[in-house]
Amino acid sequence: MTVYVDEIRDWTLIAKARGLRHTHWCHLTADTEEELHAFATRLGLRRSWFQKKSDRDYHWHYDIVPSKRAQAVRMGAQEVDRRFIGRLMIRRQQERDGIEPGSEVGHRCGNNPNVRLSPGDQQAVDDFKAYLKQKKEGDRR
């Protein structure tokens, strides 16, 4: 298990729009949430700073400023780039959705065979396919 930090980026527009104090930060994440929280505690981060929108959210992380990033690296966090973080998020999404590792993951829609739809979404897709079939049969008459 590993903790990761990506590169510092300038988020000035977002920071000013949200009235935030800091304008430059990066993301701290890990292979597991438990490991991330343990590391964040040792780093002195508040649990309330953890970002996860829902139980299904696979983008969970902490935003940290340059000084905390430097401290995290000294404590053993692995420095990675945004591409690595993107691949990590795809792997989390695949694990969450029960998709075979390495499968292509795309947008949630009825046309992507690699994504499992919620029952409601599946019903909407099935209803639309039935509508199209009925319309096609009506056009033949």
Residues 65 and 125 both lie in one domain:
no
Stronger pLDDT, 123 or 36, i.e. the higher one = 36
pTM metric for this prediction: 0.65
Residues 86 and 59 both lie in one domain:
yes
Alpha carbons 130 and 140: distance in angstroms, whole number: 16
Residues 77 and 46 both lie in one domain:
yes
Confidence at 4, pLDDT banded by 50, 70, 90: very high
Residue the block writes with tokens 């490991």: 35
Residues 80 and 126 both lie in one domain:
no
105 touches 89 (CB < 8 A): no
Domain boundary among 62, 77, 97: 97
Q: Per-residue pLDDT for 101 more than 70?
A: no
| Amino acid in position 39 | F
Q: Per-residue pLDDT for 103 more than 60?
A: no
Confidence at 120, pLDDT banded by 50, 70, 90: confident
Instruction: Output DSSP code: residue 55.
Output: T
Q: Per-residue pLDDT for 138 more than 70?
A: yes
Residues 88 and 113 both lie in one domain:
no
Residues 77 and 126 both lie in one domain:
no
Contacts of 140 (CB under 8 A, 6+ apart): none
Domain that holds residue 135: 109-141
Contacts of 90 (CB under 8 A, 6+ apart): 105
Residues 66 and 123 both lie in one domain:
no
Q: Per-residue pLDDT for 75 more than 90?
A: yes
- Total number of domains constituting the chain: 2
Return the axis-axis angle of helices 33-43 and 66-74, rounded to nearest 10°.
110
pLDDT tens digits for 76-87? 999 999 889 989
Can you tell me whether residue 111 is helix, strand or coil? coil
